[in-house]
Chains A and B, each alone.
Chain A
Amino acid sequence: MRMRGALAAGLLAPALGLMAGVYVAPLAVYFVNGFHAFRDGRILPVWTLQTYADFFADPFTYRVVGTSVGLALVVTGLAVLVGYPLAYALHTRVRSRTARSALAVLLFSPLLVSVVVRTYGWLILLANQGLVNTTLRSLGLIDEPLSLLFNTRGVVVSLTHILLPFAIFPIYSVLGRLDPTLKEAARDLGAGWGATFLRVTLPLTMPGVVAGALICFTLALSAFVTPQLLGGGRVQVLPLTVYNSTVEINWPQGAVASLTLLALSVLAVWVLETALRRLPGPEDHR
């Protein structure tokens, strides 16, 4: 029973109307600003590509893009590297279903709390006299407190923490769909745990890894609160450029930076989605 066109249109109209008016229109208006100029603290509504030219001629732009992409790559990599063993342990070494649900909720729980609160937690943890430094000193591992705040290091740790659940759950989900007899077959043919993992489990769970990496990368690229609060001004990423430009009323520059950020996100999505489609999944038999 297919839904009649008239009914479908009626059901979609509110959503489409809302999106057109509150999503497409504002973005269109905003991006048009990229074609205006900004001089002497005022926006001149003339059509020009000068703002674009200035933006891409400025070496600072490339530093910012480099920092953004580099930071996103590093935290995505860390989130996946830490997340995979956690997802694997949760899937294979926790027997009872209630324990697994409880642990899943715990792993998911930070997402329920504002990113401001989570970042604040790291602010306390990474302070010179915070938990991390105090523990390391009392263990005799360091003499001087490590400078973990208001630089890239703190941002990396905190951002990885925030992204970790987004890496864990796609991987956990794809592990659940892996046919256990494939592992038995590998063992039957002489593979130990290592060979089974490297040759069967890992390749067939790659779709989950890529899906997780996709989510983490796009979130990391557009992260604002964490770099702002923990970066101390030294971690210049694109969202901060957009913010600062807006505060200075330099909306044209903000628009250009925004479009650059958007383009990078879309590029990442396109690359990873293509990779995702090429990978064999855990259910590709018969």
Chain B
Amino acid sequence: MSEPGARGAAVDVSGIIKRFGDVVAVDAVSFAVQPGEFFSLLGPSGCGKTTTLRVIGGFEAVDAGEVAIDGRPMGRLPPNRRETNMVFQRLALFPHYTVHENVAFGLRMRRVPEPELRSRVGQALELVRLPGLGGRRITELSGGQQQRVALARALVNRPRVLLLDEPLSALDLKLRLQLQEELKRLQRELGTTFIYVTHDQGEALALSDRLGVMAGGRVAQIGTPMEIYERPTSRFVASFIGDANLLDGVTEALEDETVVVRAGSVHVRARRTGAERAGQPVTVCVRPERVRVEARLDLPTVVPARVEDRAFSGTLVKYRLAGGGLRLHAAVPYVNGTALFDVGDAVAAGWEPRQAVAVPAQ
């Protein structure tokens, strides 16, 4: 829990609890988003990320906790009095208005004079790369175009914080990637604080300055994409983000910078974070790209193994290995001259301890 308004944050969420009947959708969630940051809430369906977003926007009342924007506590202010604007998952574009009227709506509510309104709408449409489409009806636009209108409609009001609720989830892959780039560019250009909700971890990692991983109504970890990826603090985060080898074991010894874990029938090493104790059940997480596969290896952690399967994916060779009572996935970059191992070969698999992390077992 932190005091609302601390740390000069653009958005400060502290101790939010939200119940729907017996279900606790958001369970004591706290985080702070810095001004100008692209912050994402990432998690599987039902983890409470959309509810949290809606709380920030003023669409849901909380049972406990506080939301502060620029240090001002929001209390029970309704959405139309907050300095936030939302891009809804199903866009919610007004079907009976043209593109221009949709984008102008917020400005009209604020009684912006007509000439200024027209110029700002034009600018907003230029910003989202839809110049001159003001006169079209919503039903005449493609999915990608509608998406941009929804963005323009929110951004034209120059909100302090833009809230985005899985805006790209209904689009096909190519369009999604294209719009992801545009969103990132927009955010950089405008410098507006973005809070983005998604279940797609690739999207979150690509777009965000920082992200919060949520599960079961709680925040599992907050950090930069790099931190989340390289140093997950829980098994859930490690398995949700990217591929990971998850080796369950018990901490046996603590060395200067590494921790020795007995997993399966071998000892493996991981980076020491300082929170480990001997005898503690842990899960060692190491990314497949960090697992080296050679005939012979000279590393602190080496596991003798046998190749069970090999798959080729363009730039990578993916091995499935078994050894020492463990199952390992390795992804080795393929360049000309790389030795390839066949199924059944005996190999040595290993990694640098600082490339692996041990998280408390759950």
Contact = CB atoms under 8 A, between A and B. Distances in A.
- Touch A–B, Cβ below 8 Å: yes
A3 B78 CA distance: 55
Interface residues of A, number: 24
Contacts of A185: 86, 88, 92-94
Nearest to B95: A284
B109 A184 contact: no
A181 B139 contact: no
Interface residues of B, number: 27
Interface string B54-82: 00010100000000000000000011100
A285 B80 contact: no
Contacts of A186: 94, 105
A184 to B, nearest CB: 6
A282 B323 CA distance: 61
B94 A188 contact: no
Interface string B183-210: 0000000000000000000000000000
A200 interface: yes
Secondary structure type dominating chain B contacts = mixed
A112 B267 CA distance: 83
Given A184-B59, A280-B96, A285 B138 contact: yes
A192 B80 CA distance: 7
Contact of B92 (A179, A191, A192, A199): A179
Interface string B149-192: 00001100100000000000000000000000000000000000
B143 interface: yes
A182 interface: yes
A140 interface: no
Contact of B143 (A181, A282, A286): A286
A285 B110 CA distance: 26
Contacts of B360: none
Closest 9 CB pairs of A and B: A190-B109, A189-B106, A185-B92, A284-B95, A181-B92, A280-B96, A187-B79, A190-B80, A188-B79
Interface of B: 57, 59, 78-80, 84-86, 88, 90-96, 105-106, 109-110, 138-139, 143, 146, 153-154, 157
